[in-house]
Amino acid sequence: MYSFLTTGNWPDYELIDSGNFEKLERFGQHVLARPEPQAIWDPHLPASEWQRANATFTREKGSQERGQWKIKPGTPEQWIINYGQEGLKLRFRLGMSSFKHVGLFPEQDPNWQFIYAQTKKRRAAVPRVLNLFAYTGAATLAARAAGADVTHLDSVKQVNFWARDNMEASGLDGVRWLVEDAMKYVQREVKRGNKYQGLILDPPAYGRGPNGEKWQLEDELNEMLKLCRQLLDPEDHFFLINLYSLGFSALILDNLVTEIFPKAQGTREIGEIYLHDRGQRKLPLGTFCRFAN
């Protein structure tokens, strides 16, 4: 089934406007303007509204990601926002990084709900969930809040510290934190014969492991998914992968999942994730595939 996913009503987040390759967002009480390569249309709101942003990110010449924030006086560099949907209640610490990110991808809201609901549906008394390329841990916390034994893996130590802050802010504990190369870890887990009732992947287009290991999405994803198939409990599982890579079609995921997880055809959901702004433009922010048995 091909689907389009977007956020529900979330008081602490709003995509206010988008256009001219930028997006204007509200996180709690603070409004940020930052680059967005897929917002190729004109903004809905006048420039005066964009100028009211508390902080604006400007890219360095020759870089798609790195740059600097221009922050208005009185705007904190870090703050907390609340999240609550369908019984799942979390808190996230946000901060302005030199790569335009703030520590959270709000468009993933429907996937957090999926993780929370599917973890609760597992037949295992304490479901085991592995979150790969886990970043600051929103998906990790969704699984943990539902009672899972969660392993959170990311190759950047500072990002894991950030995820731990989010865990503590959300009143949770007990997550296993790993600073590892995802491919190497999954290969070892397959050799050990370990199984998980939940697997979550949000791999980047390009990245490096803690010891310089190279990750290139188009080169590594096929092998990664084959290994994940071996890690899933065949009788009791859910699986979620999210991709944000320009030009990486959902049809690519469809082909891979059809071949590697043929038994998932009946429950598989695949498609795009987007956010809508006040002008009702739909801003695409990635592709996904998820299924459960």
| Residue 109 confidence (pLDDT) | 97
Give me the architecture of the 2-78 domain, per CATH. Sandwich (2.60)
pLDDT at 141: 98
Cite the beta strand spans of 72-175 per DSSP E: 78-85, 88-95, 128-132, 149-154
pLDDT of res. 255: 94
User: Structural domain boundaries of the chain?
Assistant: 2-78, 103-292
Low-confidence residues in the chain, pLDDT < 50: none
The pLDDT, as a whole number, for residue 200 is 98
pLDDT score, position 63:
74
Residues 210-214: contacts with CB under 8 Å, at least 24 apart: 210/155, 210/156, 210/157, 210/179, 210/180, 210/181, 211/181, 213/155, 213/181, 213/183, 213/184
Q: What pLDDT shows up at residue 118?
A: 98
3-state secondary structure of 264: helix
**CATH architecture designation of domain 103-292:** 3-Layer(aba) Sandwich (3.40)
pLDDT tens across 149-189, in order? 999 999 999 999 999 999 999 999 999 999 999 999 999 99
Distance, in Å, from the CA atom of 11 to the CA atom of 82, rounded to the nearest integer, reads 8
